[in-house]
Amino acid sequence: MNSARTQAGSRSSIQQWAAVSRPARPIVRELLINGPQTRTSLAKTLGLSTGSLTRLTKPLVQSGLLVERDIVHDPVNGRPTRPLDIVAEDFHFLGIKLTSTHVYAVVTDLRARVVAEAAEPIGDRQPESVIAQARNMMTRLSREGAEPVAAGFALGGHPQAPGETAAAEVFDAPFLDWWGIPLQPLLDDRMGIPCVVSNDVSALAHSQHWFGAARGLSDFALVTAGAGIGYSLFIRDHMVTATESNLREFSHHILDPGGPMCAEGHRGCVASYLSTHSILASAAHGLRRQVSIEEITRMAREGDAVCLQVTRQAGWALGAVIATVVNITMVKTVVVAGESVEVARTGKRHIERGMGHRRHRDYRSIDIPMLSADFTEWARGGAVAAIRTFVAGTS
Binding site for Zn ion (CB under 5 A): 252, 262, 264, 266, 269, 271
Q: Shortest Cβ distance from residue 255 to Zn ion (Å)? A: 10
Which lies closer to Zn ion via its Cβ, residue 30 or residue 249?
249
Closest CA to 20 of 386, 384, 390, 383: 390
First to last CA, the chain: 31
Residue (199 or 251) nearer to Zn ion, CB: 251
Instruction: Name the minimum Å distance from CB 97 to Zn ion.
Output: 25
Stretch (H or E) spanning 382: helix 376-390
What element of type H or E holds 287? helix 276-287
Residue nearer to Zn ion on the CB measure, 206 or 252: 252
Q: Smallest distance from the beta carbon of 266 to Zn ion, in angstroms?
A: 3
Give residue 67's Cα distance to chain centre. 28
**Closest approach of Cβ 391 to Zn ion, in Å?**
39
Burial class (CB in 10 A: 0-12, 13-18, 19+), 107: buried
Q: Which residue from 156, 153, 199 is spatially nearest to 175, judged by alpha carbons?
A: 156
Which one, 135 or 252, has the nearer CB to Zn ion?
252
Cβ distance to Zn ion smaller for residue 31 or 270:
270
Nearest approach, Cβ of 204 to Zn ion (angstroms)? 22
Nearer to Zn ion, 266 or 350 (CB): 266
Please give the helix or strand (H or E) that residue 269 lies within, else none: none
The burial of 111, by beta-carbon neighbours within 10 Å (0-12 exposed, 13-18 middle, 19 or more buried), is given as middle
Residue 264 beta carbon to Zn ion: minimum distance, rounded to whole angstroms: 5
φ/ψ bin of 356: left (φ > 0), alpha (ψ from -120 to 50), beta (otherwise): alpha
